[in-house]
């Protein structure tokens, strides 16, 4: 199975695209606005400062806009704008905004253009109209079903086949020959540590890679994703302006909780908060979701995971005796802890457990590293723990790393066992030959046994046959 490289940043993906792809992307005002909103603050300032300037501006003039200590950030912003083909360099070494981007971004700001790239609101009333609370509940339910499946809980419905395929293709989960089903990987655990907005983009980036493999029009896929980030929450939109590729995407995005569609053939769809916050940053998503009553417990896994990722206080207490106390009701957070902690007790607002050699070893078998476990404990440490230095007990940190080193001492390697030598001299000669080739992994002279690396098997076998043949000729 081919594994797609795991990405979490939309910038990383966009920077790999050729200039002709950007020329097509820039033809949609909604896409120009979305890319602009994803830029760092200083990048947005540069674009707005020269958007309406028709003549190229020298780099020296742009550098004069910031203090000396800001030149490094300025250079980073200029590099990003260049990689995204928003800024272009003229033969006179001046900088100017890409002409297509300039025109369509102006249309986005002024409401011009005829592309309806910001969606077409439905003209008729929806007989089955849904409200924002319903959309938040739908988004939460769909997204947390994916996260719960990744950590192995069965409290939510099983994700669709398309989601499972994407989890496996992106290497967030994999299958093993000895066990049935999918299991979380190192990348999957790292994925769970991210905030919700980063998780959604990471998932969508894997979807983009899949779309390329399926020969879908990449520009149409990207345009629709960027369009979703500019739509109004609670408004229903017509599918009439969508291309065939984009209509095909609706079913997949519904599985992720990004859009809601009452049934497959419906002529309208609703963007959820996961969609409308795609290009507005994580904080908007977390704050908005946490303020809504979604019909589930206030400690919804999706909300809790997002809030706790950004909570400077945290909810974990780790003691020197390896005991862990987690002040959380989130089923998702509890399931994540269960990946490397042996849980002992559960109370209405707290769970307790202990870090053991066996519990950590199980995490290592799933591809989780010691550094990831330690990082998770640090990120979610309780305010009381933050009052002391070091933050985590060194005895526990060192022991987790020692358990990982202990596991890594044994290395699997394909090899061949040689035995049943009739004459000691033949064994000694073969052993010496293997040592000279630096392929001897183990030997026991008394038992006349040795193990050699797999790649040297044919060479050593040929040597032994030649020696034995020579001995017969001499005899």
CATH number at residue 71: 1.10.10
Q: Are residues 391 and 420 in the same domain?
A: no
Q: Are 454 and 416 in contact (CB under 8 A)?
A: yes
Which has the higher per-residue pLDDT, 114 or 252? 252
- For residue 73, what are the contacts with CB-CB under 8 A and spacing of at least 6? 40, 42, 66
Q: Last residue of some domain: 407, 426, 458?
A: 407
Q: Are residues 33 and 136 in the same domain?
A: no
What are the tens digits of pLDDT across the range 439-469?
999 999 999 999 999 989 999 999 998 888 8
- Asked if the structure places residue 288 within a domain, the reply is no
What are the tens digits of pLDDT across the range 58-106?
999 999 998 888 889 999 999 999 999 999 999 888 999 999 999 999 9
Alpha-carbon gap, residue 306 to 475, rounded angstroms: 80
Q: How confident is the model at residue 5 (pLDDT cuts 50, 70, 90)?
A: very low
Q: Are residues 206 and 263 in the same domain?
A: yes
Q: How confident is the model at residue 279 (pLDDT cuts 50, 70, 90)?
A: confident
Is the link from the previous residue into 155 a cis peptide, with omega within 30 of 0? no
The pair of structure tokens assigned to 278 is 């795609």
Q: Are residues 396 and 420 in the same domain?
A: no
- The DSSP annotation for 392-439 comes to S-HHHHHHHHHHHHHHHTS----EEEE---SSHHHHHHHHHHHHHHT-
Q: How many domains does the chain have?
A: 4
The pair of structure tokens assigned to 134 is 């319903």
- Asked if the structure places residue 64 within a domain, the reply is yes
Q: Last residue of some domain: 80, 110, 140?
A: 110
CA dihedral over 228, 230, 235, 239, signed as positive or negative = negative
Q: How confident is the model at residue 192 (pLDDT cuts 50, 70, 90)?
A: confident
Beta bridge partners of 347: 350
- Asked if the structure places residue 127 within a domain, the reply is no
- Asked if the structure places residue 286 within a domain, the reply is no
Helix (H, G, I), strand (E, B) or coil at 179: coil
Alpha-carbon gap, residue 154 to 316, rounded angstroms: 24
Give the pLDDT score at 87: 96
Q: Are residues 434 and 466 in the same domain?
A: yes
Q: Last residue of some domain: 276, 304, 334?
A: 276
On whether the pTM is more than 0.85, the answer is no
Q: Are residues 420 and 390 in the same domain?
A: no
Residue-range definition of the domain harbouring residue 219: 132-276
Average pLDDT, the chain: 86
**pLDDT over 60 (residue 282):** no
- For residue 20, what are the contacts with CB-CB under 8 A and spacing of at least 6? none
Alpha-carbon gap, residue 332 to 301, rounded angstroms: 5
Give the pLDDT score at 292: 37
The pair of structure tokens assigned to 243 is 């291309």
Alpha-carbon gap, residue 78 to 82, rounded angstroms: 6
Q: Are residues 146 and 247 in the same domain?
A: yes
- Stated as kind and residue range, the H or E segment containing 238 is strand 237-238
- Asked if the structure places residue 332 within a domain, the reply is yes
Q: Are residues 249 and 158 in the same domain?
A: yes
- For residue 319, what are the contacts with CB-CB under 8 A and spacing of at least 6? 325, 393
Q: Are residues 235 and 349 in the same domain?
A: no
Give the pLDDT score at 299: 32
Give the pLDDT score at 472: 65
- Asked if the structure places residue 250 within a domain, the reply is yes
- Asked if the structure places residue 124 within a domain, the reply is no
- Asked if the structure places residue 300 within a domain, the reply is no
Which has the higher per-residue pLDDT, 404 or 190? 404
**pLDDT over 90 (residue 189):** no
Share of the chain above pLDDT 90, in %: 62
Q: For position 425, which CATH number holds? A: 3.30.70.2610
Q: Are residues 332 and 425 in the same domain?
A: no
Q: How confident is the model at residue 147 (pLDDT cuts 50, 70, 90)?
A: very high
What are the tens digits of pLDDT across the range 320-363?
999 999 999 888 889 889 989 999 999 989 999 999 999 999 88
**pLDDT over 80 (residue 7):** no
Q: Are residues 268 and 212 in the same domain?
A: yes
Using CA atoms of 282, 286, 292, 295 in order, give the dihedral in degrees to the nearest 10.
Answer: 110
Please state the φ and ψ torsions of residue 110, each to the nearest 5 degrees.
-105, -5
Mean pLDDT value across residues 133-143:
94
Q: Are residues 158 and 188 in the same domain?
A: yes
């Amino acid at each position: 199975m081919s594994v797609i490289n795991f990405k979490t940043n939309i910038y990383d993906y966009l920077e790999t695209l050729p200039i002709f792809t950007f020329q097509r992307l820039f033809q949609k005002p909604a896409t120009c606005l979305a890319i602009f909103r994803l830029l760092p603050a200083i990048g947005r300032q540069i674009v707005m400062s020269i958007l309406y300037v028709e003549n190229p501006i020298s780099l020296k003039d742009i550098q004069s806009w910031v203090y000396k200590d800001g030149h490094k950030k300025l250079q980073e912003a200029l590099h990003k704008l260049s990689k995204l083909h928003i800024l272009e360099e003229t033969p006179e070494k001046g900088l100017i905004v890409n002409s297509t981007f300039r025109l369509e971004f102006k249309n986005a700001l002024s409401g011009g253009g005829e592309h309806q790239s910001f969606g077409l609101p439905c003209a008729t009333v929806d007989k089955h109209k849904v409200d924002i609370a319903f959309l938040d509940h739908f988004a939460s339910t769909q997204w947390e079903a994916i996260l719960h499946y990744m950590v192995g809980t069965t409290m939510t419905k099983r994700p669709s086949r398309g989601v499972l395929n994407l989890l496996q293709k992106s290497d967030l989960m994999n299958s093993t020959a000895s066990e049935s089903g999918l299991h979380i990987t190192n990348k999957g655990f790292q994925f769970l540590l991210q905030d919700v907005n980063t998780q959604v983009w990471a998932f969508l980036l894997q979807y983009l890679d899949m779309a390329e493999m399926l020969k879908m029009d990449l520009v149409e896929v990207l345009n629709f994703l960027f369009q979703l980030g500019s739509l109004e929450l609670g408004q229903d939109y017509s599918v009439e302006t969508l291309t065939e590729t984009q209509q095909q995407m609706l079913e997949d995005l519904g599985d992720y909780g990004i859009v809601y569609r009452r049934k497959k053939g419906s002529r309208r769809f609703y963007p959820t908060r996961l969609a409308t916050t795609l290009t507005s940053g994580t904080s908007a998503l977390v704050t908005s979701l946490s303020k809504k009553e979604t019909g589930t417990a206030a400690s919804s896994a999706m909300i809790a995971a997002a809030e706790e990722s950004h909570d400077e206080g945290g909810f974990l207490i780790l003691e020197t005796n390896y005991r862990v106390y987690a002040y959380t009701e989130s089923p998702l957070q509890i399931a994540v802890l269960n990946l490397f902690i042996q849980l002992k007790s559960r109370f209405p607002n707290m769970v307790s457990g202990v870090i053991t050699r066996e519990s950590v070893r199980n995490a290592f078998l799933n591809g989780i590293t010691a550094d990831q476990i330690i990082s998770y404990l640090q990120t979610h440490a309780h305010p009381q723990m933050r009052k002391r230095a070091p933050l985590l007990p060194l005895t526990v940190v060192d022991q987790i790393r020692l358990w990982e080193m202990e596991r890594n001492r044994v290395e699997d390697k394909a090899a061949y066992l040689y035995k049943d030598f009739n004459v000691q001299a033949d064994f000694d000669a073969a052993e010496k030959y293997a040592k000279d080739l630096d392929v001897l992994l183990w030997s026991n002279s008394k038992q006349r046994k040795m193990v050699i690396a797999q790649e040297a098997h044919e060479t050593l076998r040929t040597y032994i046959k030649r020696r034995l043949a020579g001995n017969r000729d001499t005899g």
